[in-house]
């Protein structure tokens, strides 16, 4: 797709609004089960002309075919990267094998545009996460933390495991946690936690009574 030049100036307001609309429509189509769609189908969902849609998203719109089928998940992620101006947050993803596997494989997680440095799962690394540095023991996590640069962790674990994993991340030097787990984490005051419910806006937690010292 066309990568709009945004390094020198911000997107014009009309273009920005269209991009936001494209993301919202793409996510709605994904939720409805449409993993792929043609430019024409997406344009119809947006109530706009396919030529105008392709003018924004296709490198050579005059040569493009409105009936060409595109991968909707990849399209949504690419557009969100444009909106994020190419900024990517380096993270370690940590949690239980099943939950981490499901998280990394979801289009909603992909939309956050994280740059995954490593994956920490003591119960084994999910197959599609093996492209990253794999940390399967506490010793491996400790060694990784001695030279790693990320200060951010994404945690997705069950109710009983999430707090323990969060504490291990803090010990490894993490100061910012995106929490996809079904529990409010107790962390030191210098650690920021953003709690995320997939499909809903994120909400920031406040320092809770009984935080770790």
CB 94 within 8 A of CB 168: yes
| CA count, 13 A, side-chain hemisphere, 96 | 13
Confidence (pTM): 0.58
The alpha carbon of residue 160 and the mean position of all alpha carbons in its chain are separated, in whole angstroms, by: 24
Q: Which residues of the chain have pLDDT under 70?
A: 1-13, 84-89, 197-213
pLDDT at 19: 85
Q: Of the candidates 114, 173, 122, which has an alpha carbon nearest to the alpha carbon of residue 144? A: 173
Tokens standing for 77? 């992620």
pLDDT at 131: 83
Q: Of the candidates 6, 2, 7, 163, which has an alpha carbon nearest to the alpha carbon of residue 94? A: 163
Domains and CATH numbers, the chain: 13-83 (1.10.10.10), 90-204 (3.40.50.720)
Q: Of the candidates 194, 187, 183, which has an alpha carbon nearest to the alpha carbon of residue 209? A: 187
pLDDT at 199: 52
Q: How many CB atoms lie within 10 A of CB 159?
A: 9
pLDDT at 59: 72
């Amino acid at each position: 797709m066309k990568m709009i030049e945004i390094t020198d100036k911000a997107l014009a307001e009309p273009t920005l609004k269209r991009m936001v609309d494209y993301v919202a429509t793409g996510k709605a189509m994904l939720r409805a089960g449409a993993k792929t769609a043609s430019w024409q189908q997406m344009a119809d969902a947006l109530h706009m002309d396919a030529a105008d849609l392709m003018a924004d998203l296709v490198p050579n719109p005059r040569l493009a075919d409105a009936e060409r089928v595109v991968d909707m998940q990849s399209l949504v992620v690419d557009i969100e990267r444009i909106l994020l101006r190419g900024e990517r947050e380096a993270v370690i993803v940590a949690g239980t094998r099943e939950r981490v596997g499901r998280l990394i494989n979801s289009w909603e997680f992909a939309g956050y545009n994280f740059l995954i440095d490593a994956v920490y799962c003591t119960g084994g690394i999910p197959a599609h996460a093996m492209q990253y540095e794999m940390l399967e023991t506490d010793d491996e996590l400790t060694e990784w933390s001695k030279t790693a640069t990320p200060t951010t962790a994404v945690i997705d674990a069950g109710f009983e495991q999430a707090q323990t994993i969060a504490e291990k991340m803090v010990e490894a030097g993490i100061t910012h946690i995106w929490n996809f787990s079904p529990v409010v984490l107790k962390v030191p005051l210098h650690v920021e936690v953003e709690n995320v419910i997939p499909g809903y806006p994120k909400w920031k937690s406040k320092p809770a009574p009984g935080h770790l010292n």
